[in-house]
Structure formats: structure tokens, C-alpha cells
Structure 1
Amino acid sequence: MSKNKKKKNALQKDLPISRANVIAVLDAPDYQPLNLAGMLEALSLPAESADALANLIGGMIDDGIVVKLKHKGFARTTDADLLIGSISFTKTGHAFVAEANSTREVFVPSGRTHTALPGDKVLVRIDRRGRRQQPDKLAEGDVIRVLERNCRSIVGTLRKATKWFYVEPMQASFKHDVMVPGKGGARLGDRVLVSLNDWEDPRQSPGGEIIDVIGPADDPSLDTLSVIKAFNLPEAFPPQVVEQAQSARIPKKEIERRRDLRKKFIFTIDPKDAKDFDDAISLEKARDGNWRLGVHIADVSYFVSRDSELDREATKRGTSVYLPDTVIPMLPEQLSNGLCSLRPDEDRLAFSVFMTINREGEILRTTFAETVIRSQLRLSYEQALSALDGDQKAISAVPGLAKRVELLQQANTVAGALRRRRFSTGALEMHIPEVKFKIGSDGRIKDIILLTTDKAHQLIEEFMLAANEAVCRELTKRGRLLIHRIHEEPDPEKLANLEETLQMAGFEAGDLTLRRNLQHVLREIDRTNQGHAWNGAVLRAFKRAQYSAQCVGHYGLGKSHYCHFTSPIRRYPDLIVHRVLKALANRGKPPYSREQLTETALASSRCEDKAVEAEREIVDMKKIRFFAEQLEGGDLEEYDAVVIDVRNFGVFIFIPAVQAQGMIHVSELRDDFFDFNPVRMELKGRRSGESYSIGTPVKVVIAKVDVERRLMDFFPVRPAAEQAKKPTRTSGRPPIRPGKKERGRSKSRQRGGRRH
């Protein structure tokens, strides 16, 4: 701590008031901006307290809580057209600043971001003179101060100008090259880790020091390490954490204390390469014709006690991170793949949710219990699907499956009833396939597998959604505070803009603030096979799901109460919910205050965002290399693509088979002159009449790849007019636009559901 900071703190200790007293004055209904003398009087402080008060308010200014207005005095940031939030950048250099625990967001154009870097906590002055002429019409502003740096290092490629060295950032969101004094032991073209210096002058480039050499940027085997370093992801667990995990045991007394379900038929359905099985299910039919569904979740809270070494490390990690060729777990392997994993034929501690469900999918009763279970069958999704489809050859290949096929069929019936009821109450659905890469030891893509949903995935998804909702409802009903999984309603303005865009494309969307219209448009877009074209536009109209101590419901799922409970091995909020539920079950005091839950929810959302960004970064990197190798080898493959955006300089396309995006420049669109219609979002040839708009199919081959900037250009193999015509709608009802679940890929996709 600096001498000035120590002096400031010492002065503040002598002050008989706190920040809360200052805020109370600033928040008074009749408050007018006061200078220091006015604040002394308002706080009934003597003149000799001026220095201490100035230092107190100065600290609040540094933290972005208070602002000093020119010639007026002090005011709250929120009262002065200012906003504090985290900044994120687009590939074009523009940025968005989102206020924490709020829906407020400000657009910051490129060149007006001051010295902000991705993830920084910044202070933005909002420009009230007008709004951007863009579909989202967000408020616009300027970054005027960086309050807190998100990261102190970046990963990039070492380059050399005429007289100096610089590092070109690997992440496209970092728009500034970083000046370095020398090569730092690296070779030109190497990826390096750079420690950033303080950067205060936006007229100068940021500077830093090379602190680690990763290796050649063109070596794909180093991609994962580069992403881990770039996002400052944790690697090895501290020795004391591993030691605590290794010492974990299941005492006989604990087994005896619990409800014993080891003789019940309980089974798991997971990805075939999964090792951490955190959920299992059971199903029984009652005499009254209702079903009793049991969802059994690994009792991680038994092994990870609050404030232990394991807990502190899990808090920092927040979530497991799933990269194509590695997993960075939240908990050490001794727990995640060992004592907490519900492996077959092994005694395991669980927290079980029992739901009585009728034929209509209505949950009539819910009970909870701390249990000990013994999974009797481990199925992959493929094996479960074979059983549901009646594939006798596949069924006979799995020991013990044949006699359980009827039970699986019954489970599918229950899941179907839950699913139908969920959509009848307003749930929204988008079919967004994802890809899974098989990576070789050299870091190159060996295979690309397109993942789609099926009955087996939907079965588990419905059961987990039901359990999550049941837990949230029970805790809320009992007045217990918890971390909720929320998805707030979209802004009506954004829905109106989306409605207008869809109508221009031929969809009679109707009022999209009405959920039934949204559901209908989703079905229409899916039925006409245009989901790939519209998914991005639709998702941009929705807010992201996040964690919160407030219960505001989940818009995409159509649920008024929802939390994460079913994956405590890999998500910290689930572990928190387990502790809250366990305290209730044992008649204990609530383990967390609202302030603690708010802080943990915010931190967990940040960890999740970082994990999603890291996953997206490595996936994009692998896709780029995949197409670059095609181009270098001259073995160009043709791909079916669809137009997802149109500009005056060309069209952006999406390739469903590999889930990749790129651009076709207008100069490559046949031998014609194309006019851009910004209203219809269309490029149309003057001579040929050939047109490109959102949803237009086109066959393409790769033309150009910029690996460092993650950009791809494509050639159209044949004109759009020669492609299959877009399917036409037969329904007279207005098509509905898709509703959003949640952006990003995670292990939850492998579990049978996206990141809700």
C-alpha cells in the first residue's frame, strides 16, 4: 500500500461518518449538488474534518460511486448520466458496457473507449443527445475512466516493426497492439504472454513485458495452452486442495444416517466419454396411476464444506471449463471423477428430489432427502436412444439393458408429458445444433461431429429442468434465500425491431411481446429450415441468462422459479443451493445472507462468461485452422451455407455442417453490379436479378483465411438462384420468432440441454 493511500485511510478512520452517510445525503429527494463545504454542513461536521471528508469522497470517486460536477459539486454517478459496468468489445472495435445487477447497457463506438480493455470496470458518460440509428437503439456513450483492470496480461504473437517490437493480441476483442522493449527470449512469430504496464493515455499504444514464451503461433498443439494463458484459467490445483480431496471418505455412520436407496433401480445417462456423473434417475408407477420420479444428485456439499480449502478453490474457479481437448474441472479429479461421481455399482452419497407427476405432466408433490444410492446401470445417450427406438441389436450389446427397456420407454413418456406442459405454459425453443471436434495429438481437427438433440437428451433435460424448478419453488416457499438462475424479459423495443426485420423477410410475426407469437414464429422458422439464418438475429434480441439473488424467473424456459441444482460437481451456484437445501432439511439456520448470495451470484456469472468466451475462442481458432489447411492443401470442399446478414459490401454466411461463419465479398457475387437495399436487407443484381437476403441458400468454398484476425472469406460456387428455393410457409398464422435459451456451449449440452 502506498504512503498516500495509508494516509488517506488514516484520515478516514478519524471521520465519525461512513460512505453510507455520504450516500444518504446524495440520495435525499431534495438534494442539489453540494461542494465540500456544503457536504460538511449537511453532515454536521466541523471545518477541521474537511481533509478527511475530501479523502472519503475522493475514494468514492475513484470507485465510480460519486462524481464531481463542473462548478456544481458532488453527485451520485447514476444521477449524472454516468454508468459503471464491465466493458466487452466486438471484433470491429465497438464496445458495450453492461451495468452489474441491472439490465442497463450502453454502446461505445470504436475510438471512444479511452484505455479500456476487455472486461475492465469502466465509467461511461452517456450521450443523451440522440440514440444510434441501429435496430437495438441502445444509449451511446464514452468511456471516461477505467476504474478497475480485468486482467493484467494478454497472449499474442511477437512482431517487429522497423524500429520496435510489438505483440499482436490473439483475442480479436483486444484491438490494440502492445509495445514491448525486446523479444524477451522469444522468436518472431511466437505466441507470448505479456504483462501489461499501466496505460492511461489513449493517444499512445499500451506497453508491456514478455513474461512467458508459449511457442510458434502456427503450432495448433499450443492452441489450448494459449487460450488457458489468455483467459487466465486455472491449471493445477494447489497441493493443499488436492490433499484435502484425497483424504475424503464416506464414513459408515454417514451411510447409516441417510435414507438407503441402494436396492432401488437407479441409473445414469451421460455422454459415452463422461467421467463425472453428477445425476442419476429412478422411476416408479404409483397405484393411483401417477409417476414417482427420483432425481438423485451427487452430494458434493458433504465433501466440500464451507470455507475449506476445497471450497475456496471452487469459489475462484466457479465452473468447470470444457475445451475441445481438455477439461479444467472445478473440483479435483479425486472428487469430480471419484467420490462425487455416481459410478455404477459403487455406494455414493446423494441429495434426492422425488416428484409425483400425473399424466398431464403436472408435478403434484415434491419431497427431498439426503440419500445413499448405488447406480445399477450406466448408459450413454446413444445406448438410451437405441433402447427408446427398439434397436434390438444395440440393446442386446449392453448387459442388463434388455429388461429395462420398458422402464426407459415409460421414462420417455413422463419426459414427454413434462415437455408438453412446459411449452403449453410458455417455454420457448430454438434448435441450435452444435459441433464437437475430435482433436489429434498435433492439435489438428481429425473429425467434426454435428450434435443434435434427440429423445434421450430430451429425457434427461426435462427431468433436470423439473428438479431445478422444484428445488427453487420449495426454497422460495419456505422463505429461504438462494442463488436463482434468471433470464429477464427482453426489451420491447428490441422485440419490435426483430418483428420488423422478420416481416421484411416475409414472416408475419405479429406482436412479439406476446409469448404465443414468439412460440409460433419459432415453429415457423424451424419448419421452413431457416433457423440457421435467423438464430443470431433472434438471440441478439434476448438477454443472457445469469445468476442472481433475486427471483425474477426464467423467460426462455417460461418458469417463474428456477435455479441450478443438478450439477454441483461443475457449477458453484449448484453447490450453494445444495447447502441452502440441506440447511432447510436439517432445520438449520440459513447459511448465507442476501449480500453474500448477491456477491457469489455476480462472481459466478463472471466465471461462466469467461468460460464461455474461452470455449468460443478455442473453437473459433480450430475452425479457422481447419479451413486454412484446406486452402493450403488445395483440397477445397464445397459447403451448403445460408445468408445470415447483408451489407453493402457483401453477405455474411453460416455453414451449418461445421457451425462456421464467414463472408462473401460483393465483388465475388457473379459478373454483375449489385445494389444494396438497406430496408429489405438485400443485395440485388441489376442485370441478372439475382438477390441475396437473410435465409438465401448458397454453396461455397473457402477463398481466404486470416488466422490471427479469425476472418474467413468464401467464394460462391454457384449463384443463389441455382440453389434450392427457400421453403414456403403453408400456415396462415403469423410466423413467430425464436425465443432464446442461452448463448454458449458447455457440458450442459452434453447432458441433454443447453446452458439454461
Structure 2
Amino acid sequence: MTFQELYDLLEEKSLTVNGIAKAGRITKDEAQALVDTYLARGDIVSIEQDKYTTTDKAGVILCTITTARSNGFFVRSVKNNQEYYISGSSTKGLIVSDLIYVKPEGNSGDAIYIGFYKRKTKIVGNLYRKPKEGYELLSSVTKGTKIKIFVDNDPDEINAGDGDLVEARITMSKTNSIRVEVETLLSKATDVGADITQIIAEKDAPFIFPDEVLAEAKAIPQEINKDDIQNRVDYRDELVVTIDGADALDFDDAVQVSLLPNNSYKIVVHIADVSHYVTPGTAIDTEADNRGTSIYVADRVVPMLPTELSNGICSLNPNVDRFTLSVEMSVDSRGNVFQSSIHKGVIRSKARLTYTEVNDLLEGEESDLPEEIQTMLKTLDKAAQIIRARRTKNGALDLDSTELKFYLDSMGRPLEVAKRVQKEGEKLIEDLMIIANVSVAKMLEDAGIPTLFRIHENPPTAKIDEFRAFARKLYVGKDFPSIITPKALQSWLESIDDEEKKKTVSRLMLRSLAKARYSPDNAGHFGLAEDDYLHFTSPIRRYPDLIVHRCCKEYLIGKKRVPSDLYDYLTLEGEHTSYTERRATEIERAVDDLESTKYMTKHLEEYFDAKVTGFAKFGMFVELENGIDACLQFNHMAGDYYVFKDKSYEVRGTETRSTRFLLGDKIRVISLSADIETRRIDVCNEQYYRENVENLSTETMSDLKDRGITYKTDSQYRNSRYSRNSDNNERRSSYGQRDRKRSYDNTKSSNGNGKYFKKSSSEGRKSFRKDDRFSRGNGRSFGNPSFAKGGVRKSGGKYGKSKSSGR
């Protein structure tokens, strides 16, 4: 029974599981499995007397609670990520991550809480020992609520103690409390990188492989079976190389090139044949599906596959035989692929090259690489430039973004931060991976074989209208295209003369586009200006690529009959892998925010060149020269009284009227504060620093006291704030003793010399409420979802992460 058949059946009338089984002529167990699947997906809902109907017919939406507030919750639709806000006494007892049903109230963004669906059986949190009362669990899922989590068993049995990160099983849930039993120690409070582990765990991303997965991985031979070479194209004598980052350990792809007549090229992209080793139904496959993708953060990679596979038998390491799926493409002098084919192959990579080596060669530096490899790389570069030119001509979007790389010491502390720069070597590989992805998509589409496409739909009309209005405010909207195509948008973007403004506008444009996702429905890829696109080139780190490999081997190469339920399977996998991709992105961004803040705690009261990237009523968002984002609040800007002019989208000084700031403007700032807990960075302008930070005299101190403002030293402030559990809070900073701990509401301010001020007036309390709204976000966006009023968030590449394009 397909999903569409089930949906049509329940649209007509509500049925029990037995009724579904009878109507669909399937067993009760099969009917129950269908019901369970589509309940979790949010397509159907249980109503009275164990009957089921569609959520569309019931007028409800299945949502996950994402954030708790004192008077309600923000929730997100499981189906389409639409956000709503719910409130009221009926929501009491709910926690973050609960699955609930809501009914939207028009287009206001508010919704009514209808009913509860499911709570996770386990909770992640930090143990907190209460004197004479045992342990509580401090978890992000109850943050913002008054619910306490009590631990019933003794954590000492698993060597867990105060401050340690654990996983606990829920044994009882009440309106104001939850009881749990601790089961797994995830990280000791003293472990290096414990703060990053906590971010990963709180996002429910698996990072410990189950024992059965590790056992299966260890049982896989680390050399290919010679008997399996039969029926494979043998490329072992060809000049094949890999090109990756210097720190890469898993090699998904290898490339080769040769010249054809008429200035054409034969390019072969070899991709690791992971599907040969990871087969459906195995523990390894189940875990890989659950993870969905590898996660790349500052201090580690959380791999999708165990290292025996990702760095071992699947990785296209040099000078060893490896199985591949190989895509042969003939490319003409205009960058068009005029012939393509796909084969099961076997290769022996002749060299493991780094981007640095390739870039140095292509930039004219002397190279120690063998002459034949140098010649091949130069040929590849010529072919890639032609391919890139063709993509640009067709209108592929080239949108600016910043990606950061942190260099950590042995204790996990950031010593250096740098912007990742994409040079010719990185572009070359990206170009080849894109045409391989396009070629495989076309072959499967032409053969009528269902698969998992990577789709990037046309921008939502409402978001484009909002962006068009925003462009007019920047005086760049005059020639904004009336018909929205990738080529029209890119041409308009190129018409902006001011390079800094162009970069900022391109980032904001990216936020107005739809999110790329996985689906069996081929809607094309707007950003790449391609009708057919999928992810094929990274099966070691992305599960959708592994699914595509199986479709190719089973139905395109193997010519097997396509099963009737393949489309439904691909639909579910598309939704699941899109979710795991979003989860990985959220983790990577959160870790970047954390490491940025940790880095800046060691660089306070330093001067930085910055550029303006966004505005809000309370201040400006800036990007520092090192790529880190910060907030420049108006109350940290001396010399004038500044206000944000929404109509002209600028900040103006109201007293002198001569000072104004526009997007992309450069400004000199001084780092004022960095709060690791909230992952917030504040900066100030030079005059504010001179007047309020550099020199604070005894007379000034006396004057502040007369005005009802008191101050504390660093140690006094820390002791008062962390007296409850100073050791645990010190651990959260990932440093020993903090240099400075700042508060980020207007009730407290610092002179930068280790003194903290707190207003005791009603005006101070009013300021706190205002800034509490400001602090909803975590990190770069600062809680403002609208691109027209918020800062610009970094992305992990133009449409996703790393070389083979998460586009």
C-alpha cells in the first residue's frame, strides 16, 4: 500500500488500523507500520477511538518545540519548517523537543496548541549535585520552563559526577517535574572539547557508534576481493589522482583527464563505491542513515561511517586498489557535456594531492610534482575554467559567503581564526563534481529511474518581494528583474558597482532564496541554473549520495526492475536526510559561534577593521577583519545619538546629522566583550572606548556611585554569578579562570578594566526587558529572523559544505 493510497483512503473516512488493513488488503502489522511512519511524518493524526485521519482534513500541523519562553513556546512544522508561536496555560508541562499538534491562527505566525503527540524517551544534560538532595539534571530541553529533572539512580555507577554530560532515560513526566535514570556518560566535565560535545549531543546527533556497528566495520577486509574485480572497468593503469585539503583523511573522489579532438576533453570522475560495503539492513547502514551526514566542527569530524570504512577500504587512498563508481564525460570547447556514461570501476590512485600543492602550481610556483601530473593538472584547470564559464553564462548564482577555520591548541582553545579562501584548486574540483552530479541526474532522469534529487526551488514570491523592497532602500533596486531567473538575478547583482555593498547584498539575497533539499520530485536547481541535479560525489559523508549510488547500480547499470514502493522510500529519505543536513548545519554554526566567542575573550580591548553587514533598532551588525561577527549597539557608540532609519536603510547621527552608516561601510571598532555562555560578542567605536573604557578616574567612580550605579571587580562578579556551582561554570568556558565575564543586557556595562556596573533604577529594568528580546538568538543572527533587520549569517559554502558542493 503506497502513501498516496493511504492518504486518499483516510481523506475519505477515518479508519482504525484494522480498517486500514482490510481496505488496503494488507496485514495488520503492515498497516500498523504504515500508520507509525506517517504519524511521525505528520501526514496523519489519531482521533477518537483509535481512528486515524489526515492532518490536512483535521486542520492540524505536527510541530517540534524548538524554544521555550516564559509565557509560551516557538514551534516548527515537521513537514515544512514553518515556525509558529503558542502560549496559554494548556502548554504547561511541555518541554523543548516535544512533538505536538497545533492549529495556525491565520497568517499571524501564532498557533493554538491542540494536543500532545510524543516525547523523546531520553534526555541529555549535565549532572548537578544538590547538597543532601542528590542529583538534578540541567538540560537545554527544560531551559525557559520551571520544570526540574530529578535523577533517581546513582550516576557513580557509570563513573559520572557533578558537571558531567550524560544521557538519561525518562521514567516519569509530570507538569512541573521529570524523573530520569542516568544510563550513559557522554563526556566528563574535564574532557577537552566537552563544550563542543555538549552542542552535538543537545542537537540529538549521534556521535558514538554502537558496538554492533563497530563489530561489523572491523569484520570488513581492508583489501579488495580480487574476484569482485570482474565486470568492472579497470582504470588502474590510468593517471588518476585525488585532490583534497591537507588535513583530509577520507577521499571520496579521484579525477583524470585526457584531450579529445576539436579542443574537447574526456573527464572521468571516480567516486568511492561505498555501496559495495554498506548494504541495506546492516547495522552500519542503519546507523549511517540515522546520522545522514558527517559533521565537521572545529576540533573533530563526526563521521557518518566508522573509520575502517571512511578512512580505510572505501577511501581512495594512493597506491592501493579501490572500487569506484566512475562517470565518464566528454566535454566540448564550450563546457557542454555531450556524452556521458557510468561504470563500476577499479582504480589505483597515483597521488594524494593537496589544494595547496595544486594552487601553487597553477599560480606559477615551482613544483616538485612529477611532470606528467603537472601537465594533467594544467589540462584539468583549462577544462574546469571552460565548464565554469558555461555555468556562469547559463546564469548560475555566485553568492558571497564567509567560512571560518579555527586552529586549536592541545586543550581545545582557539589560537587562530582565518577565513577559508577558495582558490583555483578548490574551484577546479567543485566544477568537476558539479558536472558529474548533473550527468548522473540526467542519466537517471532519461532512464525514468526514481532517485533522490538535490532540488533548489524557485524563490518564494513573498521573499523576493521583500528583497526587492529592501534593494530599493539601498538604491540598487532600480534595475531589479521583473521576471526572476538565476541569470537575471546574477546579472543584476553584477551591476552593483560598490564591491562591499555587492558582497553584503549577495549574502542577503541568499537568505531570500528557498532552501536546497532532497526529494524524488525533480524540481531542478535554481542556484546552479540546472534542470537536473543530485548529490553523487560524496557517499562517504552523505547518505543521499549512497542512495543515488544504489539506484545507479541496481537499476541503471544492473537493469533490475524498479520496485513499486521506491518512490515512497525516497520521499521519506528525502525528508529525513534534509533534516539531518539542517541538524549538521546548526551544529557547525553553533560551534563556530562558540569558538568565535572563545577566541575573542583573549582579544578584548583590541582594535579591528570591520564592515557593516546589517542593522537593527538597537545597533549595527559588523564583520570583523578576521571574519567573526559582532554587534555594535548604539549605546556603545559615542560622539552622536544614532538611530536606524528603516525607510532609507541606514544609521544616522541625529545631533551632527553628518554621520551615517550604510551596508558595506568600513568602521574601526574595539572589542568590548565576549560572553561564552550566550556566544555574544560586543564591540564599541573608538570614542566610546576612549571615554568609557581606557581611563576611568576615581572622580568618575564617585559620580557613578552618586547616580546609583555600583561596580564590582572581575572576581567579585564571577563569585556572585557562579556561587551556585563555580567549578561547573568555569568548565563551560573551556578555559581555566576567565579574563572577563560580561553581561549583555543594558542593566550591566563594563568599563573594560575589570569593573562591572549595575543600574538599580527602573530605567535599567526597562532596558533589560528590551534587550531580552534582542538576546533570543544565539550567535550571528542575534535572534532576528528577517534579513532586512538582522545580521548576515555565514554559510558553509554557497549552498552547503565543502568541495563537492552542498549545493
TM-score (norm 2): 0.74
Give the aligned partner of residue 125 of structure 1. 103
Distance 2:87 2:514 in 1: 23
CA deviation profile, 1:321-373 (whole Å, cap 9, x unmatched) = 22221122222212211111111111111111001110001110101111111
Distance change (3 Å), C-alpha of 1:630 and 1:191? farther
Q: What pairs up with 1:341-352 in 2 under 5 angstroms? A: 341-352=315-326
* 2:125 aligned with 1:147: no
Q: What pairs up with 1:268-667 in 2 under 5 angstroms? A: 268-392=242-366, 395-396=367-368, 398=369, 400=370, 402-508=371-477, 510-511=480-481, 513-515=483-485, 516-524=487-495, 528-530=499-501, 533-534=504-505, 537-583=508-554, 584-590=556-562, 593-631=566-604, 636-658=605-627, 660-667=628-635
Residue 574 of structure 1: CA displacement?
0.9
Distance change (3 Å), C-alpha of 1:293 and 1:81? same
2:581 is aligned with what amino acid? E
Distance 1:98 1:60 in 2: 13
Is the Cα contact below 8 Å between 1:113 and 1:142 reproduced in 2?
A: no
Distance 2:650 2:443 in 1: 51
SS of structure 2 residue aligned to 1:529 = helix
Give the aligned partner of residue 685 of structure 1. 653
1:551 is aligned with what amino acid? N
Distance 1:260 1:35 in 2: 56
2:239 is aligned with what amino acid? F
Is the Cα contact below 8 Å between 2:293 and 2:543 reproduced in 1?
A: yes
Distance change (3 Å), C-alpha of 1:579 and 1:561? same
* 2:77 aligned with 1:108: no
From 623, 632, 636, give the equivalent of 1:668: 636
Distance change (3 Å), C-alpha of 1:127 and 1:27? same
2:558 is aligned with what amino acid? N
Distance 2:4 2:539 in 1: 37
Residue 474 of structure 1: CA displacement?
0.4
Distance 1:223 1:321 in 2: 16
Distance 2:240 2:90 in 1: 55
Residue 753 of structure 1: CA displacement?
4.9
Residue 477 of structure 1: CA displacement?
0.8
Is the Cα contact below 8 Å between 2:235 and 2:346 reproduced in 1?
A: yes
1:294 is aligned with what amino acid? V
Distance change (3 Å), C-alpha of 1:486 and 1:719? farther
Residue 81 of structure 1: CA displacement?
4.3
CA deviation profile, 1:156-206 (whole Å, cap 9, x unmatched) = 5859899999766569x95446523479678876666565676675xx577
Give the aligned partner of residue 60 of structure 2. 82
Between 576-585 and 175-184, the greater mean CA deviation after superposition: 175-184
Residue 214 of structure 1: CA displacement?
6.7
Distance 1:341 1:74 in 2: 47
SS of structure 2 residue aligned to 1:27 = helix
Distance change (3 Å), C-alpha of 1:95 and 1:753? farther
Between 258-267 and 589-598, the greater mean CA deviation after superposition: 589-598
Distance 2:592 2:66 in 1: 19
Residue 749 of structure 1: CA displacement?
7.3
2:651 is aligned with what amino acid? L
Is the Cα contact below 8 Å between 1:642 and 1:655 reproduced in 2?
A: yes
* 2:680 aligned with 1:711: yes
Q: Could you tell me which runs of 5 or more consecutive residues in structure 2 were left unpaired when the two chains were aligned.
A: 24-34, 690-787
Distance change (3 Å), C-alpha of 1:536 and 1:98? farther
Residue 389 of structure 1: CA displacement?
1.4
Q: What pairs up with 1:242-257 in 2 under 5 angstroms? A: 242-246=214-218, 247-248=220-221, 249-257=223-231
SS of structure 1 residue aligned to 2:199 = helix
Is the Cα contact below 8 Å between 2:405 and 2:420 reproduced in 1?
A: yes
Distance 2:540 2:174 in 1: 41
Distance change (3 Å), C-alpha of 1:691 and 1:194? farther
Between 86-95 and 174-183, the greater mean CA deviation after superposition: 86-95
SS of structure 2 residue aligned to 1:530 = helix
SS of structure 2 residue aligned to 1:257 = coil
Give the aligned partner of residue 199 of structure 2. 227
1:469 is aligned with what amino acid? V
From 1, 4, 11, give the equivalent of 1:27: 11
Distance 1:517 1:747 in 2: 18
1:65 is aligned with what amino acid? I
From 71, 74, 77, give the equivalent of 1:98: 77
SS of structure 2 residue aligned to 1:383 = helix
CA deviation profile, 1:270-323 (whole Å, cap 9, x unmatched) = 111111111011111113432111001111111222222322222222222222
Distance 2:67 2:482 in 1: 29
Residue 479 of structure 1: CA displacement?
1.1
1:709 is aligned with what amino acid? T
Is the Cα contact below 8 Å between 1:280 and 1:342 reproduced in 2?
A: yes
TM-score (norm 1): 0.79
SS of structure 1 residue aligned to 2:603 = helix
- Equivalenced residues, count: 676
CA RMSD of aligned residues (A): 4.1
Distance 1:373 1:543 in 2: 39
Distance 1:243 1:159 in 2: 36
Between 191-200 and 681-690, the greater mean CA deviation after superposition: 191-200
Identity %: 27
Distance 1:271 1:243 in 2: 30
Is the Cα contact below 8 Å between 1:168 and 1:178 reproduced in 2?
A: no
Is the Cα contact below 8 Å between 2:272 and 2:325 reproduced in 1?
A: yes
2:11 is aligned with what amino acid? D
Distance change (3 Å), C-alpha of 1:492 and 1:156? farther
Distance change (3 Å), C-alpha of 1:524 and 1:188? farther
Distance 1:226 1:83 in 2: 30
SS of structure 2 residue aligned to 1:672 = coil
2:317 is aligned with what amino acid? R
1:435 is aligned with what amino acid? L
Distance 2:137 2:455 in 1: 39
SS of structure 1 residue aligned to 2:602 = helix
